[in-house]
Amino acid sequence: KAGVTQTPRYLIKTRGQQVTLSCSPISGHRSVSWYQQTPGQGLQFLFEYFSETQRNKGNFPGRFSGRQFSNSRSEMNVSTLELGDSALYLCASSWNAKETQYFGPGTRLLVL
Amino acid sequence: QKEVEQNSGPLSVPEGAIASLNCTYSDRGSQSFFWYRQYSGKSPELIMFIYSNGDKEDGRFTAQLNKASQYVSLLIRDSQPSDSATYLCAVRYSGGSNYKLTFGKGTLLTVNP
């Protein structure tokens, strides 16, 4: 069974731009969670989607948003990028939110 | 604020020794506990999970859970240089429909040949 895939793997943007990241979960998994990982803050929860509905949201500003499609693929968007948004963005999928989460390879975003 | 605390390390052990990684959590309502391993530049990969008090063994890895003391630990027996990585403890608090994972900041383990 194919694992979680994320695209793109690497991204360089400048301040003020916006970015969209994509995540395809493991086949059959309906829950997708997004995390931001930085050296200083570690892994921080952004939001979780299940069956196209956002069920949980972390403590991030409204510039961070996401959505999930009917095939469970998910996207997250960051608008008006700031230098502090440079991070590894990880997507994790599970059959439902109560089950074990499996991570994708991540998208490394650098904001200049 | 639900917190998960780990010693950041680095924890250095010789090859063949037992590495002991610890994690404490703040919410007594926590129900499930996970250990992930993350190699430098890679994403976290699941090692094991534990729900009930006591020990759970999987190969060279043993997870130990003590809900009364609010800690969970991971023992790695016969440590190998390939075990050198950051180990992340994650705790799931479940209230209503909130099943999000809260991660500790990880412990860096170095196994010296």
Q: Where are any strands of DSSP class E within B1-113?
A: 4-6, 11-14, 19-25, 30-38, 45-50, 54-58, 61-66, 71-76, 85-93, 101-103, 107-112
Positions in chain A whose pLDDT score sits under 70: 1
Q: Nearest residue of B to residue A97 by CA position?
A: B99
* 113 residues of chain B, pLDDT tens digit each: 678 999 888 999 999 999 999 999 998 888 899 999 999 999 999 999 998 889 999 999 999 999 999 999 999 999 999 999 999 999 987 766 667 789 999 999 999 99
Residue B97 has what pLDDT? 62
From the list B90, B111, B113, the residue with the least C-alpha distance to B20 is B111
Give the per-residue pLDDT at B96. 64
The pLDDT of residue A2 is 82
Which two structure tokens, joined as six digits, stand for A98? Answer: 């109560």
Contact B7, B106 (CB under 8 A): no
- Which residues of chain A are at the B interface, by a Cβ-Cβ cutoff of 8 Å? 33, 35, 41-45, 48, 55-56, 58, 88, 90, 97-98, 100-106
| Furthest CA-CA distance within chain B | 48
- pLDDT at site B30: 82
**Helix/strand/coil percent split, chain A, to 5:** 5, 55, 45
Residue A14: CB atoms within 10 A of its CB come to 10
pLDDT of residue A13: 98
Beta bridge partners of B107: B87
- B40/B60 Cα distance (integer angstroms): 21
- Asked if A86 and A78 count as a contact pair (C-beta separation under 8 A), the reply is no
Residue A58: list chain B partners with CB under 8 A: 100
Q: Residue B72, Cα to own-chain centre: how many angstroms?
A: 7
Asked if A103 lies within 8 A of B45 by C-beta distance, the reply is yes
Q: In this structure, is the dihedral angle defined by the CA atoms of residues B25, B31, B37 and B41, taken in order, positive or negative?
A: negative
Other C-beta atoms lying within 10 Å of the C-beta of residue B90: 24
